[in-house]
Amino acid sequence: MSLSVDQHEAAGGAAESPGVVLRADALVKRFRVGPAIRSNYVSAVDGVSLDLRRGESLGIVGESGCGKTTLARMLVGLERPDGGTLRFRQRDVTAGRRADRRLLRKGVQMIFQDPYTSLDPRMTVGKLVTEPLAANRTMGARARRGRAGELLELVGLSVDMLDRFPHQFSGGQRQRIGVARALALDPDVLVCDEPVSALDVSVQAQVINLLRDLQRRLGVAIVFIAHDLSVVRHLTDRVAVMYLGRIAEIGDSDSIFEGPAHPYTRALLSASPSVDPARRGQLAQRVKLIGEPPSPIDPPVGCRFHPRCELAQDRCRTETPLLRVPADDTGTRRSACHFAEAVLTDAR
C-alpha cells in the first residue's frame, strides 16, 4: 500500500481547503475474487484522493473497469473503504461512528446508471420519491405527499403522476424520478454514475441539462461519471481521469481537454467520437490506445499505464509516478506521469 500513500501525499496532505464538502484521502477498496482457497484480490480503487467543493461539478472518466463505480459507492457510503479516509463536512465518516455515517447517507446521494432496475416496481412514484424522508422520520404522511409533488415538479414531472408506478414511465422519466428521490433529503452532493448511458440518445441531453440546471438552482455539488467526454466537458468544472484504480490526471476540465498532461488522457481524447475530428486527428497522430487495460488483480508495476504507453521509458517500468503539478503549468492540474511536461508541451 505504500504506493497509495505516495499518491495521497502528492495530492496535497491533510489541510482542509475552505468550501470543501467532501474529501477523499487515499481511498482503497479491494474485492476478493475466485474460489475460496485460491482467492485473489482486485484492487478496484487503489489510493484515490480528491476534493469536492460546495456547488461544483467534478467529472470522473476512464475506461470500463477502472474503478469509477466503486469510488462512487464509497463516496455515498454504500461501500466501506479498506483504506484511506472520507470526510464529509469536515467529519471523518470512515471511522465507523453511526451518527457520522448517517450524515453521509443523508448528505451525499447517488443517481444510478440504470433507471429500469433502480426503482422498486411495486411502489408508486409518490412513495418512491419520499421513501428517504420516511426512513428518516422527519415528516408526517401528508407533508411527505406535498413534498413528493414539489420534488416531481423540480425535475420536470407533474404532481398528477404521484400515484403511478415506474413501468408507466419512459426511461428518461424514470431517471427524473431517480433524481427527485435523490433530492428528497436536500443533499449537498449528488453522485451520478453514468446517469444517461442506459437511456435513449434522444433524451440523454434533457437529463444532462436537468442535472446542470439543478446544480445551478440548488447549489448542489455533482460528481458526474460518464463515458462521453464532450458531456463531461460541458457539465463539469473539474475532471479526474482514472486508470486501473488510480487517478492519472485531475484538474480544471477546460485545461485538461485543451491540453492533457498525461498520455492516457490524450489517448482517451483521441479515441472519443465526441471530440472535434480535427483535434482528434492531431492527437491520434501521436497516440493510440492499444488493447484492453491489464487486469487489476495483477497490475503492472511502476506506472500502471506503461504496457500501453507509447512514451514509456525504463523508469516507467519500475518507478510509480506521483500525482504532481507539471513544472511551468499555470493551473492546479496534477498528472501522474514522469514526463508530464513533455506531454503538455506536445499537446499545445
Ligand X SMILES: Nc1ncnc2c1ncn2[C@@H]1O[C@H](COP(=O)(O)OP(=O)(O)O)[C@@H](O)[C@H]1O
Nearest to ligand SF4 of 73, 308 (CB atom) = 308
Nearest to 146 by CA among 130, 135, 134: 130
The grid cell for 345 is 508541451
Pairing of strands 83-88, 20-33: antiparallel
| Interacting residue with Mg ion among 69, 94, 236, 272 (CB under 5 A) | 69
Amino acid letter, residue 321: P
* Least distance in angstroms from the C-beta of 91 to ligand X: 25
Residue with cell 411495486: 122
28 binds ligand X (CB under 6 A): no
Residue with cell 481524447: 269
**Residues of the shown chain interacting with ligand SF4 in the complex, contacts defined by CB under 6 A:** 262-263, 303, 305-306, 309, 311-312, 316, 321, 337-339
23 binds, among Mg ion, ligand X, ligand SF4, none (CB under 5 to 8 A by kind): none
Nearest to ligand X of 43, 255 (CB atom) = 43
The grid cell for 12 is 496535497
31 binds ligand X (CB under 6 A): yes
In a 3-state reduction of DSSP, which class is residue 51?
Answer: strand
Q: Which stretch binds ligand X (CB under 6 A): 66-74, 94-102, 121-129, 257-265?
A: 66-74
| Interacting residue with ligand X among 59, 67, 107, 326 (CB under 6 A) | 67
In a 3-state reduction of DSSP, which class is residue 214?
Answer: helix
42 binds, among Mg ion, ligand SF4, ligand X, none (CB under 5 to 8 A by kind): ligand X
Nearest to 304 by CA among 235, 240, 244: 244
70 binds, among ligand SF4, Mg ion, ligand X, none (CB under 5 to 8 A by kind): ligand X
In a 3-state reduction of DSSP, which class is residue 190?
Answer: strand
What is the phi/psi pair of residue 78, to 5°?
Answer: -85, -15
Binding residues (CB under 5 A) for Mg ion: these are 68-69
Binding residues (CB under 6 A) for ligand X: these are 31, 33, 42, 44, 62, 64-70, 296
